[in-house]
Amino acid sequence: MLICDTLIRNARVLDGSGRDAEVLDVAVHEGRIVDVGRSLAASSPMQIDAKGLVLAPGFIDTHTHDDTSVIETPGMLPKLSQGVTTVIVGNCGISAAPVRLGRKLPDPMSLLGKPEYFRYPTFASYVDAIGSVRPAVNVAALVGHTALRNNHMDRLDRAATSAEIDAMRADLQEALDAGALGLSTGLAYASANAASTAEVEALAMMLHAAGAVYTTHMRTETEGVLDAMQEAFAIGRAAGAPVVISHLKCAGIDNWGRSGEVLKALDMARALQAVSCDCYPYAAGSSTLDLKQVDPRVEITITGCAAHPEFTGQSLASIAEAWGVSQLEAARRLQPAGAIYHSIDEGDMRRILAHPATMIGSDGLPYDIHPHPRLWGTFPRVLGRYSREEKLFSLPQAVHRMTGMPAQRFGLVDRGLIRRGLAADLVLFDPETVMDTATFADPIRPAKGISHVWVNGVLSYTTGGATGRRAGHFLPRQKAGSHHSTTPQAEVTPSA
Ligand code: ZN
Ligand code: CU
């Protein structure tokens, strides 16, 4: 008889591959799944009867800005309470490492927290910090192009010189050697917009040898979105690296209804090269307050503002009215601030979310006072609202987009599936009740229906809240095939 430290009986197991549920027992010992099967001959001091509940691999949040929050607020309740067991940090060109701050924090690196939170001059020092803090969730990290520009350029409103590119390449190599997943860019932001395609390519060229990925917050998500997609694909082809388009959307009212074109471009590229995307399940975006995105037709809410904290949670329209100025002028006076932009069409968002190449990424901003509800709600919302209620895709397919698919795409080869030998990141949830409760009006609220969350085999969250045991690891990039498991992670063709 198998003795194990946790035994979950009679769960409806969704293994993360996209396959239908099967009622099975899962045995966990010392951080690993040690057996999966019907009526296992096993015993354990911690046995859970999971009848009626779904057991899935812990969710992987593919798109986060939790770079410093995993260290500053290691309990990570916004994510753990959704069943997330791994966060991928370093998106949109901004990362906490490797960073040497010789200046004021450039926008949008401020999304990652205060200047004093940036204390990782090398990627290896960030890996060490994760190891000593032990956040409640696992952390895997991209290197931000804007962070590299910050390290080596006197000003960010120009393209890098070849000497600066060489210096950035050295930083990137150090990070890849220390386990970074790849390179991210945020070419839409002023701090990276002047970078040429060639500058990005010169960095991306290093990814292939490392088996690493290229992710991008594209140069634009509005009128020029198709050109921006072509730029991303071209960089991926030149580099021989898989491309992940971050938070794919058609932003701005004049751009609504174009998701068909955008997805057609994605599909044409997918026929030629490795391309995918992530998406959050809301018809509103959030970032720093950007004057270029101020449009009186778009509802904009302030998520935080150092100069005028009293306006947090209020609409830009009401602030402009109170001041008797235009919204653009109000936005100028509020700088620097954070904002939510209701500038996405729900139909477009659903079409992109439902696309078979789409992974789930919250893009949550952990330091906003009045955050976008995606920070606390993304994963249960996909499961409850968009799969169960709206039937955009089946539950096995919804779980696959949060588990097996991202694990495979990012090279996290011992995560994302429920298989013997893999890491025991697991979430048990009620498929009938799982749902987000965070709203735009009341955004800091844990989801319903998440019953148990294990991170590396350690029970970290239950319906009673966090258990206080933090068991997250830094997850280095692993090349496909480097894992000893006899069950290779073949990409599963989705059925929905
Ligand atoms: Zn972004
Ligand atoms: Cu982002």
Residues 262 and 274 sit within 8 Å (Cβ to Cβ): no
Please, which residues have CB within 8 angstroms of residue 269's CB and are 6 or more apart in sequence? 229, 233, 243, 275
Residues 384 and 368 in one domain: yes
Residues 49 and 468 sit within 8 Å (Cβ to Cβ): no
Residues 47 and 104 in one domain: no
* Within a domain: 478: no
Q: For the residues 36-61, what does the mean pLDDT come to?
A: 97
Residues 148 and 75 in one domain: yes
- Distance CA(82)–CA(18), nearest Å, equals 20
Residues 432 and 358 in one domain: no
3-state class of 382 per DSSP? helix
Q: Please choose, from the candidates 477, 461, 464, 471, the residue with its C-alpha nearest in 3D space to the C-alpha of residue 79.
A: 461
Tally Cβ neighbours within 10 Å of residue 157: 10
Q: Please choose, from the candidates 381, 398, 375, 383, the residue with its C-alpha nearest in 3D space to the C-alpha of residue 445.
A: 375
Domain count, the chain: 3
* CATH number of the domain residue 251 falls in: 3.20.20.140
Residues 20 and 117 in one domain: no
pLDDT at 363 over 90: yes
Model confidence pLDDT, tens digit, residues 421-449: 999 999 999 999 999 999 999 999 999 99
The Å distance, Cα 93 to ligand 1 centre, comes to 8
The Å distance, Cα 216 to ligand 1 centre, comes to 8
| pLDDT, the chain, mean | 95
Q: Are strands 426-429 and 358-360 parallel, antiparallel or unpaired?
A: unpaired
- Distance CA(103)–CA(121), nearest Å, equals 14
The Å distance, Cα 215 to ligand 1 centre, comes to 10
Crossing angle of helices 327-334 and 316-323, in 10° steps, is: 100
The pair phi, psi for residue 255, each rounded to 5°, is -105, 0
The Å distance, Cα 39 to ligand 2 centre, comes to 43
* Within a domain: 8: yes
* Within a domain: 471: no
- Distance CA(349)–CA(355), nearest Å, equals 10
pLDDT at 402 over 80: yes
The Å distance, Cα 90 to ligand 2 centre, comes to 8
- Distance CA(255)–CA(472), nearest Å, equals 40
pLDDT of residue 102: 83
* CATH number of the domain residue 321 falls in: 3.30.1490.130
pLDDT of residue 103: 84
Neighbours of ion ligand 1 (CB under 5 A): 92, 217
Q: Tell me the CA end-to-end span of the chain in Å, nearest whole number.
A: 39
**Structural domain range at position 41:** 2-56+417-438+445-466
The Å distance, Cα 91 to ligand 1 centre, comes to 7
Considering the entire predicted model, what is its pTM? 0.96
pLDDT of residue 421: 98
Residues 45 and 144 in one domain: no
- Distance CA(472)–CA(490), nearest Å, equals 26
The Å distance, Cα 409 to ligand 1 centre, comes to 19
The Å distance, Cα 244 to ligand 1 centre, comes to 12
Residues 318 and 361 in one domain: no
Last residue of a domain, one of 270, 305, 336: 336
Say which ligand is closest to the CA of 142. 2
The pair phi, psi for residue 66, each rounded to 5°, is -90, 20
Model confidence pLDDT, tens digit, residues 268-299: 999 999 999 999 999 999 999 999 999 999 99
Region of 456 on the Ramachandran plot (φ > 0 left; ψ -120 to 50 alpha; else beta): left
pLDDT band at residue 486, thresholds of 50, 70 and 90? very low
Q: For the residues 117-142, what does the mean pLDDT come to?
A: 98
* Within a domain: 481: no
Model confidence pLDDT, tens digit, residues 184-214: 999 999 999 999 999 999 999 999 999 999 9
Instruction: Using CA atoms of 185, 190, 194, 195 in order, give the dihedral in degrees to the nearest 10.
Output: -20
* Within a domain: 139: yes
Q: For the residues 67-79, what does the mean pLDDT come to?
A: 98
Residues 356 and 453 in one domain: no
User: What is the residue whose two structure tokens read 């994760």?
Assistant: 130
Residues 49 and 63 in one domain: no
pLDDT of residue 354: 98
The Å distance, Cα 95 to ligand 2 centre, comes to 11
DSSP state of 186: E
* Within a domain: 427: yes
Residues 126 and 138 in one domain: yes
Model confidence pLDDT, tens digit, residues 298-354: 999 999 999 999 999 999 999 999 999 999 999 999 999 999 999 999 999 999 999
- Distance CA(477)–CA(40), nearest Å, equals 33
Q: Please choose, from the candidates 347, 406, 408, 363, the residue with its C-alpha nearest in 3D space to the C-alpha of residue 111.
A: 363
* CATH number of the domain residue 432 falls in: 2.30.40.10
Residues 14 and 52 sit within 8 Å (Cβ to Cβ): no
Residues 106 and 21 in one domain: no
Neighbours of ion ligand 2 (CB under 5 A): 91-92, 363
Q: For the residues 250-270, what does the mean pLDDT come to?
A: 97
Residues 329 and 320 sit within 8 Å (Cβ to Cβ): yes
The Å distance, Cα 42 to ligand 2 centre, comes to 44
Residues 385 and 251 in one domain: yes
* Within a domain: 426: yes
pLDDT at 490 over 70: no
Say which ligand is closest to the CA of 90. 2
